[in-house]
Structure 1
């Protein structure tokens, strides 16, 4: 099958979807955040990788092409850290077009065993961190009519054993994002949510290891029994949906939640 010149140009343009644009991604030192950074850079964008572990952020940034990456250490629950990271991004690249909030941690347990401090830390990192990054990024995103994707979880929609704090925090992220989308729509800024299901990340592997009696692969296989597709996701599969929502192809999508769970919630 022959391909005419216009189709070739369109294909190249699509591949360079984010050419000249800048993304700030939190939790970018591993898992879904790192996969988003690589995908965005592969499509021509520049990425500010933010992670609580600065060395991990730097490693991911160094792996991006050319000068496409900047790695920064920051605790998203600390407003000073967040403000500094956003300023560094704009100082380095002169603009900010996209924000992805991936930073988070899992702290499972029955409510009887959860201290209020553990509960608050969960809320501070997930809901508070998302709020702070959005707040400090929005003055720059308004100038570029940019886009935000906040990462929630299917835990926001389905009860899971010993997961009340995490599920509540991700529920807060989901509700906050919908409200924020309405507040900033007139500014040309889009806000969406991606809610992953079971995914192979550094955050989930300890859970799989425990479930599998010390064997991560066995634990992942047992977990996948609840998934319609009978497997867990690769980070790149979730990242592909996130980068779609940041792209011009999703220009009429805002206040939406995309569930990426292999059909688990449908069962």
Structure 2
């Protein structure tokens, strides 16, 4: 079947970011009314204002603040009275290694990547139940299957999120709400560009990063054909799942993955330089902010 976006009310967290804004444009282009949620209220409102169609709204919301999440959901209830699709898309990572980063940064990353999607989903359940065909879609990561040695907190949050969403999908299935997750690999967004210039996780650069539109197609495919998980690049998913059959071999495999990833990161940085998105200053890479 093909999902009908017309007149659907869809909330996207991290909606002003690279993947989030691409999702919003696709949904709005199909006739949906978008609730763009982002910690940056100005960007959320600007993203909503630039969408095709009408009836969109942009909300600034710190998803680590439960009261703010409740107020955002209450606003949707007042305006629309229901929520057809919740897309948990927000996420963050850090290039800081585990042995030097602060405990507070660890707590924040776990809170945003793992706890906030669960809390947001729970708070949104009454509005989802008011819809005729409610859905929950969560952006996880292949890092929810394969341990990224250079970013263990991101790995922990995504492993936990994948497991939680599988369980929630099984639990809510019999209660009329279909929930599933999309597991992309490295995607060409500002977050990935920042990680590259900071010398972050080289394991993500085994292959050329995919585009936000690739993730959008996977999300739309999940809405077209509801299931627990969908992969943007099925070939990559098979590789990492196969590698996890023997986790004790990972210490031997990691040097091979890392060397390939380092070459891929170098190519990506050079591509960013050619596109005018990054530059070297004094031997260090830095992002060039887009206008």
Q: Normalising by structure 2, what TM-score?
A: 0.76
> Structure 1's 262 and 198: CA in aligned 2 closer, same or farther, altered over 3 A?
farther
Q: In the alignment, what sits opposite 1:36?
A: 23
Task: State which of 199, 220, 241 in structure 2 corresponds to 1:243.
Answer: 220
Task: State which of 180, 195, 200 in structure 1 corresponds to 2:183.
Answer: 195
| Greater alpha carbon shift after TM alignment, 46-55 vs 103-112 | 103-112
1:122 maps onto 2:109 in alignment? yes
1:157 maps onto 2:134 in alignment? no
1:131-142 map, 5 Å: 131-142=118-129
Deviations 1:183-204 (A, max 9, x none): 2112210110111101011111
CA shift for structure 1 position 211? 4.4
Moved segments of 4+, more than 4 Å: none
**Helix, strand or coil at the partner of 1:76:** coil
Kindly indicate whether the alpha-carbon contact (under 8 Å) linking 2:95 and 2:195 is maintained by their aligned counterparts in 1: no
CA shift for structure 1 position 243? 2.5
| Greater alpha carbon shift after TM alignment, 237-246 vs 50-59 | 237-246
Kindly indicate whether the alpha-carbon contact (under 8 Å) linking 2:114 and 2:157 is maintained by their aligned counterparts in 1: yes
Task: State which of 72, 79, 93 in structure 2 corresponds to 1:106.
Answer: 93
Question: Aligned partners of 2:197, 2:55: CA distance in 1, in Å?
Answer: 35
Q: In the alignment, what sits opposite 1:23?
A: 10
Deviations 1:71-111 (A, max 9, x none): 00001111111111111122222321000011111123332
Task: State which of 41, 45, 66 in structure 1 corresponds to 2:32.
Answer: 45
Identify unmatched segments of 5+ residues in structure 1.
1-9, 213-218
Question: Aligned partners of 1:139, 1:265: CA distance in 2, in Å?
Answer: 34
Task: Give the number of aligned pairs.
Answer: 238
Kindly indicate whether the alpha-carbon contact (under 8 Å) linking 2:81 and 2:127 is maintained by their aligned counterparts in 1: no
Q: In the alignment, what sits opposite 1:3?
A: none
Question: Aligned partners of 1:265, 1:191: CA distance in 2, in Å?
Answer: 20
Q: Normalising by structure 1, what TM-score?
A: 0.82
Kindly indicate whether the alpha-carbon contact (under 8 Å) linking 1:101 and 1:130 is maintained by their aligned counterparts in 2: yes
Kindly indicate whether the alpha-carbon contact (under 8 Å) linking 2:95 and 2:199 is maintained by their aligned counterparts in 1: no
Question: Aligned partners of 1:245, 1:204: CA distance in 2, in Å?
Answer: 24
Q: In the alignment, what sits opposite 2:56?
A: 69
CA shift for structure 1 position 208? 2.2
CA shift for structure 1 position 112? 1.2
Kindly indicate whether the alpha-carbon contact (under 8 Å) linking 2:36 and 2:44 is maintained by their aligned counterparts in 1: yes
**Helix, strand or coil at the partner of 1:125:** helix
**Alpha carbon RMSD of aligned pairs, Å?**
2.3
Q: In the alignment, what sits opposite 2:259?
A: none
Kindly indicate whether the alpha-carbon contact (under 8 Å) linking 1:41 and 1:68 is maintained by their aligned counterparts in 2: no
